Amino acid sequence: MTTTIDAMPTANPRRMSKAQRLVLMGLTLVAVMSVTRLWTGYDNLTSSGTIGAALRLTVPILLAGLAGLWAERVGILNIGIEGMMILGTWFGAFGAWKWGPWVGLVLAVLGGMLGGLIHAIATIRFSIDQVISGVVMNLFAFFGVRYLSELLFVGQPQGGISQSPPQSSAIPRIDVPFLAGGPIGGWTSPDILGWFEERRWFLIGDLAGILKGLTSNLSLASLIAILLVPLSAWVLWRTTFGLRLRSSGEAPEAAESLGVDVIRVRYIGLLISGGLAGLGGGFLSIVSSSYYRQGQTAGRGFIGLATMIFGNWRPSGVLGGAAVFGYSEGLKLVAGGSITGLFLFIALVSLLVLMVAMQARAQRRALTTVIIGALAVLAFATVNEVPESLTQSLPYVVTLVVLATASQRLRPPAKAGAPYRPGGAH
């Protein structure tokens, strides 16, 4: 009697889940950064100070990226995120000045939602070109808040046409007990991560520095913003409302034929988008600063759109893209002299990517990686100090490089930016 087992399904023990692959990739990048730190002596590359600054700089970009994601998932291009963030900075600062920072954040959200409503009426009700509407929104917000500043801030102590009076109090910051030495009652708990960070051991010291930067001097507003990432993922992919919203951006005619009120869903999606952008603006004027200042957004709305594309229109991807920008800008602010160490880091990562590309026989990717790696090695060997002008542009250069070299398959919502009229052909 012969038994055949060839046709029986067998599990592949080498196959990892997506979460396991992400963890492995993250640990690999931290290990490469640890090698870079030990090689160059630039301890600030993974210090808690750099990571803490990076987190504060990541949050506004993250919220702008989520704003773009919610809008495009519902089928509307939102070029006006910058303007909605400007509204958030002004209304947030006004509320924080008058009634405190938490009221300021609420008003920042409402200010952004006002911008989202205007964009929705223009693009949905009157079918104005979505790009043109977004550009007009940016101009309207810029000149509108300047007019409001002239009415309400001029003549106030430390206020003027280009800035608001400072807020009287700030949103609390916390240190997580035991991990970052946060207090419990009147007792100060041990700073475990800080102890490991001071040892600067390979990988362990770097992980400790990164985790301490994320758990010390942590603003409650930053925590709320980070929690919006899993919340957005859950709502968009695990709820009936999320399914209706995504269907409005993928196939609105089909969604309408199944009873979905596409127009109503699109209005809601743009209100949420505007609220997220406004919250990002409020974070800039209330948490990152203590007052509104003209030009405070500094193009972060457009960088948010770039992180949305890099993140493949998914919340976790947007978080990753925002973190890349935030880290490069945080390193520039905390330890600008350590930037040359990034050249070595890029060269080492290029070597790893080249090995993977050769194994997968991806010749074009391998050639691109060789060119990037060679330029990084040349820069590391010849550049002793990065000029200030290049240092200031580093975050934007990093964002462009990441977008240009991303190897993932980008798939935007099928009908994002396409005009829609209810009752059309099905």
Q: Residue type at 414? A: A
pLDDT tens readout for residues 154-194 = 999 999 999 999 998 899 999 999 999 888 888 889 999 99
Hey, what are 390's tokens? 């290049």
What distance in Å separates the CA atoms of residue 84 and residue 71, rounded to the nearest whole number?
A: 13
Alpha helices in 284-340 (DSSP H): 300-310, 315-334
What distance in Å separates the CA atoms of residue 319 and residue 61, rounded to the nearest whole number?
A: 9
Whether the CB-CB separation of 298 and 325 falls below 8 Å is answered with: no
Q: What's the confidence (pLDDT) of residue 425?
A: 54
Whether the CB-CB separation of 91 and 115 falls below 8 Å is answered with: no
Whether the CB-CB separation of 285 and 92 falls below 8 Å is answered with: yes
Q: Which residues of the chain have pLDDT under 70?
A: 1-14, 388-392, 394-409, 423-426
Distances (CA, A) of 288 to 67, 93, 282: 19, 11, 9
pTM to 2 decimal places: 0.92
What distance in Å separates the CA atoms of residue 172 and residue 381, rounded to the nearest whole number?
A: 44
**φ and ψ at residue 153, rounded to 5 degrees:** -105, -30
Q: What's the confidence (pLDDT) of residue 1?
A: 43
Q: What's the confidence (pLDDT) of residue 328?
A: 84
User: What are the b/e assignments for 124-135, b being 16+ CB within 10 Å?
Assistant: beeebebeebbe
Hey, what are 40's tokens? 């160059």
Q: What's the confidence (pLDDT) of residue 16?
A: 76
What distance in Å separates the CA atoms of residue 385 and residue 373, rounded to the nearest whole number?
A: 19
E strands, 5-100, in order: none
> From the CB of residue 168, how many other CB atoms can be counted at a distance below 10 Å?
12
Domain boundaries, given as residue ranges, for the chain: 42-175+217-332
Query: How many angstroms from the chain centroid is the CA of residue 384?
Result: 31
Q: What is the 3-state secondary structure (H, E, C) of 240-299?
A: HHHHHHHHHHHCHHHHHHCCCCHHHHHHHHHHHHHHHHHHHHHHHHHHHCCCCECCCCCC
What distance in Å separates the CA atoms of residue 324 and residue 310, rounded to the nearest whole number?
A: 11
Q: What's the confidence (pLDDT) of residue 334?
A: 80
What distance in Å separates the CA atoms of residue 396 and residue 302, rounded to the nearest whole number?
A: 11
Query: How many angstroms from the chain centroid is the CA of residue 76?
Result: 20
Dihedral angle, C-alpha 363, 364, 368, 370, nearest 10 °: 10
Domain 42-175+217-332 indexed as CATH 2.60.40: no
Burial class (CB in 10 A: 0-12, 13-18, 19+), 19: exposed
Q: What's the confidence (pLDDT) of residue 409?
A: 66
